């Protein structure tokens, strides 16, 4: 099945439109079908032509992108037509409506255990946040040292993901960061984090 | 020997031979999301970058203070330091990256 998207045609149509209007304005009348097509481009988005019938859609009423130019919108559709047909995307990844339209604090962490697609899982984590994921899914503490804990997050997908839980010594806040899968102790996790072969305790840490 | 303020590490080590360019700012690291920054104050120092490896070094001549909005200040005694940024592992993108606050 052939189908077209007007966005694809804009480049070539714009080229000929420019030539016709700027160089051969007096010959515009010789190309009525092209002029008709240019007019249609203003209103049509996607078209699917068959022998005796062409299915068309109007242009979307809303398109939302992230700063990288990928389809993205939280709590609303990234892409919507006037009849409310919508597509939901997070950072360029097509996800289910419920993931987008549920606020991050109400999105259940268990959702990640059911999701099979790795990209969708990544977006769920990004939305829920690593901290809440580790807390809600009861990441297991396997080592402690000073104010640090090494947590293992098991998403029942055959991989154990270690996270380092730490306290900001200056403002008393807790945060959690992922560390390399080979880390088995807090010391190994800190060495990975600091980019040193073994853990070296800082002489000053604030 | 390491001195650490939040995500920034100061490794006390000899600056290797090479070609260096001067970094004309007192900002060691700026947070993308918060706009908070690790800044050098007071003291006497030279902030340089290896033109080949892009590694950044700090040659502290007199005690210099590093301040940040969310961390207590640290004082760097005279010496040569390599600047490091802590890393994290993204288990879903499967990649190592510098921590960005």
Query: In this predicted structure, what is the pLDDT of residue A167?
Result: 84
Q: In whole angstroms, what is the distance from residue B74 CA to residue B70 CA?
A: 12
Query: In this predicted structure, what is the pLDDT of residue A5?
Result: 66
Residue B81 C-alpha, separation from nearest chain A C-alpha, in angstroms: 13
Q: What is the pLDDT of residues B35-60, one digit of tens each?
A: 789 999 988 999 999 999 999 999 99
* Whether residue A7 has pLDDT greater than 70: no
- Residues of chain B in contact with residue A194, where contact means CB-CB under 8 angstroms, are 2, 4, 9, 84, 86-87
| CA A176, A181, A187, A192 torsion-angle sign | negative
Mutation choice for B interface testing from A111, A154, A183, A202 by most B CBs within 10 A: A202
Helices vs strands, H then E, count in chain B:
0, 12
- C-beta separation of A154 from A113 below 8 A: no
Mutation choice for B interface testing from A159, A184, A199, A203 by most B CBs within 10 A: A203
Strands B2-5 and A204-205: parallel
Q: How many Cα atoms sit within 13 Å of A15 on the Cβ side?
A: 4
Q: Tell me whether A79 touches chain B (CB under 8 Å).
A: no
- Residues of chain A in contact with residue B91, where contact means CB-CB under 8 angstroms, are 153, 159, 161, 178, 181
ipTM for the predicted complex = 0.88
B89–A118 CB contact, under 8 Å: no
Mean pLDDT on A183-203 = 95
Number of Cβ pairs closer than 8 Å across A and B? Answer: 72
Q: Mean pLDDT in chain A?
A: 89
Mean pLDDT on A102-130 = 88
| CA B7, B13, B14, B17 torsion-angle sign | negative
The DSSP string of A2-13 is --EEHHHHHHHH
Q: pLDDT band for position A6 (50/70/90)?
A: low
A195–B9 CB contact, under 8 Å: yes
* Domain coverage including residue B87: 2-98
The DSSP string of chain A is ---EEHHHHHHHHHHHHHHHHHH-GGGGGG-HHHHHHHHHHTTEEEEEE-SS-EEEEE--SEE-B-TTS-B--SSS-SEE-TT--EE-EETTEE--HHHHHS-TTTS-TTHHHH---HHHHHHHHHHH-HHHHHHHTTPEEEEEETTEEEEEEE-SSS-EEEEEEEE-TTT--EEEEE--TT--SHHHHHHHHHT-SS----SEE-
Residue B76 C-alpha, separation from nearest chain A C-alpha, in angstroms: 9
- C-beta separation of A130 from A178 below 8 A: yes
- Closest partner residue to A194 (CB to CB) among B5, B9, B75 is B9
What are the mean pLDDT values of chain B's consecutive 10-residue runs (101 residues total)? 94 93 92 81 92 95 92 94 94 84 61
B90–A178 CB contact, under 8 Å: yes
CB under 8 Å to A91, separation ≥6 — which residues? A66, A68, A70, A72, A123, A126
Q: Mean pLDDT in chain B?
A: 91
Q: What is the pLDDT of residues A124-163, one digit of tens each?
A: 988 998 888 888 988 999 999 998 999 999 888 888 999 9
B3–A204 CB contact, under 8 Å: yes
Domains in chain B, number = 1
Within 10 angstroms of residue B1's Cβ, the number of other Cβ atoms is 13
Full-model pTM = 0.70
Query: In this predicted structure, what is the pLDDT of residue A48?
Result: 85
Using the structure block, give the residue that is written with the tokens 């962490």: A109
- Residues of chain A in contact with residue B96, where contact means CB-CB under 8 angstroms, are 180
Q: Which residues pair with A149 in a beta bridge?
A: A144, A165
């Amino acid at each position: 099945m052939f189908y077209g998207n007007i966005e694809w045609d804009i480049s070539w149509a714009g080229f000929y439109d420019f030539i016709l209007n700027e160089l051969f304005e007096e010959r515009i009348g010789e190309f009525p079908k092209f002029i008709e097509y240019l007019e249609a481009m203003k209103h049509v988005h996607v078209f699917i032509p068959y022998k005796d019938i062409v299915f068309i859609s109007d242009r979307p009423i809303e398109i939302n992108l992230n700063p990288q130019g990928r389809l993205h919108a939280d709590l609303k559709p990234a892409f919507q037509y006037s009849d409310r047909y919508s597509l939901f995307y997070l950072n360029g990844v097509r996800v289910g409506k419920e993931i987008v339209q549920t606020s991050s604090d109400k999105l259940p962490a268990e959702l990640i255990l059911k999701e099979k697609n790795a990209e969708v899982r990544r977006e769920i984590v990004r939305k829920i946040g690593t901290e809440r994921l580790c807390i809600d899914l009861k990441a297991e503490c396997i080592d402690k040292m000073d104010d640090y804990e090494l947590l293992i997050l098991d998403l029942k997908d055959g991989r154990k993901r270690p996270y380092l839980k730490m306290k900001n010594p200056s403002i008393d806040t807790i945060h959690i960061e992922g560390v390399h899968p080979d880390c088995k102790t807090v010391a190994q996790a800190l060495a990975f984090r600091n980019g040193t072969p073994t853990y070296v305790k800082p002489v000053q840490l604030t | 020997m390491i001195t650490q303020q939040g995500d920034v590490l100061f490794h006390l080590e000899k600056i290797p031979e090479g070609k260096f360019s001067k970094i004309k700012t007192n900002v060691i690291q700026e947070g993308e999301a918060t706009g908070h920054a690790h800044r050098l104050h007071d003291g006497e120092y030279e902030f340089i970058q290896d033109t080949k490896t892009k590694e950044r070094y700090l040659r502290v001549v007199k005690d210099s203070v590093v301040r940040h909005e969310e961390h207590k200040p640290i004082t760097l005694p005279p010496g040569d330091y390599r600047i490091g940024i802590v890393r994290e592992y993204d288990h879903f993108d499967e990649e190592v990256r510098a921590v960005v606050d």
